[in-house]
Amino acid sequence: MEPGTRIWPENTVEADQMLDEVVVEAEEEASTVVIRELLRRTDQEILCHLVGVSPTEFEQLVGALFRRMGFKVLVTKATRDGGIDIIASYGKLKAIAQCKRSQGVVGVQVVRDLYGTMLHENAYHGFLISTGTFSKDARNWAMGKPLYLVDCIDLLKWVREYGKTPEQDPPLI
């Protein structure tokens, strides 16, 4: 190494950014391994796995799927996240997401809370991703709003569609 070569950032902000990038890369690699394994399983096995992982692992996996859709993604800290698990941006548009591991039905209050958080954060869209389903009231309340309710069926479609790497895609004929 040449004299004067900098091996560590000059300030804590730069150091934090470098560490964040390393953490994101590690999370992405771990999620890629998990997604690759999930693609070998049946839909029922995938759902059982998703319900069984920790909330943080579930959020990281959903974040990886958003990245594969072309979003820039920040998975928030596990505590005091203000109801936001993921911040995703696509160009200048900001979206927030909340992830719910549940085998049950997500009610309208959770959807209302997400919408309020979305407005407070000036987000363009809100995503509520669940391993369960949404009540009829929740779906009706979200109608006409920039909210996307992703239930277990939609989540399975995401895993199957966005979980593939380009080399896993079937050839176009």
- Name the β-bridge partners of 97: 86, 127
Answer with the residue of higher pLDDT: 107 or 10. 107
Say if residue 166's pLDDT is above 90. Answer: no
Sign of the Cα torsion 41, 27, 166, 86 reads positive
- Name the β-bridge partners of 106: 134
Among the residue ranges 77-91, 130-144, 155-169, the one predicted with the least confidence is 155-169
Task: Report the distance separating Cα 61 and Cα 111, nearest Å.
Answer: 21
CA 102-121-116 angle, 5° bins: 55
Task: Identify the pLDDT of residue 173.
Answer: 44
CATH class of the domain comprising 12-164: alpha beta
pLDDT tens for 80-120 read 667 899 999 999 999 999 999 988 999 999 999 999 999 99
